[in-house]
Amino acid sequence: MNIFRHHPLLLSCGIGFAVFSGALAAQGFDQLKDLTGSSLGGAASSLGLSSITSGSTGNAAGIIEYCMKNNYLSGDNASSVRDQLMGKISGGGDQSAQNNPDYINGAQGIVSGSAGQNVDLSMAGMKASAVKKACETILEQGKSML
């Protein structure tokens, strides 16, 4: 018994969902291309993430936090930069920095660019080497924000 023969609506919904999911995935990659200024063809220099930048101090601090928690960055250098950036957004108190929406997005792995584009570093299928490179780039950017 073929369920799709008896339930054409189910088949239509399944096809529609597959097409919609593919469009969302393509849109995510288009945003990544727009943000980094490179194409994604042939591994594209680790997905072009070496030119990614954060649009705010709070987001940079959050991204560094995300990268440290996921072992893309480590050491006193990264934690020092993160702590100094958090001090800048909170004016000295950590609590208000952790309530900052840009920091919260960054801590979840979402890089918020200055032009409003977002790139999710936790996106399924993204190579660890590309994410590590993005983390290193944002750490360097964070140092320049101090």
Whether residue 43 lies inside any domain: the answer is no
pTM over 0.75? The answer is: no
Reported as a single tens digit per residue, the pLDDT across 90-136 is 776 656 888 999 999 999 999 998 888 899 999 878 899 999 999 99
In angstroms, rounded to a whole number, what is the distance separating the alpha carbons of residues 38 and 12? 36
Report helix angle 57-69 to 76-90, nearest 10. 150
**Residue 54 sits in which domain range?**
48-145
pLDDT at 69 over 70: yes
H or E element in which residue 110 lies: strand 110-112
In angstroms, rounded to a whole number, what is the distance separating the alpha carbons of residues 103 and 87? 12
Q: How many domains does the chain have?
A: 1
How many Cβ atoms sit within 10 Å of the Cβ of residue 31?
A: 16
Q: Is the dihedral of CA 30, 111, 118, 20 positive or negative?
A: positive
Whether residue 140 lies inside any domain: the answer is yes
* 7 DSSP 8-state letter: -
Question: pLDDT value at position 3?
Answer: 52
Whether residue 75 lies inside any domain: the answer is yes
Whether residue 52 lies inside any domain: the answer is yes
- CA 112 to chain centroid, in Å, comes to 8
In angstroms, rounded to a whole number, what is the distance separating the alpha carbons of residues 111 and 141? 12
Whether residue 4 lies inside any domain: the answer is no
Residue 111, strand partner residues: 119
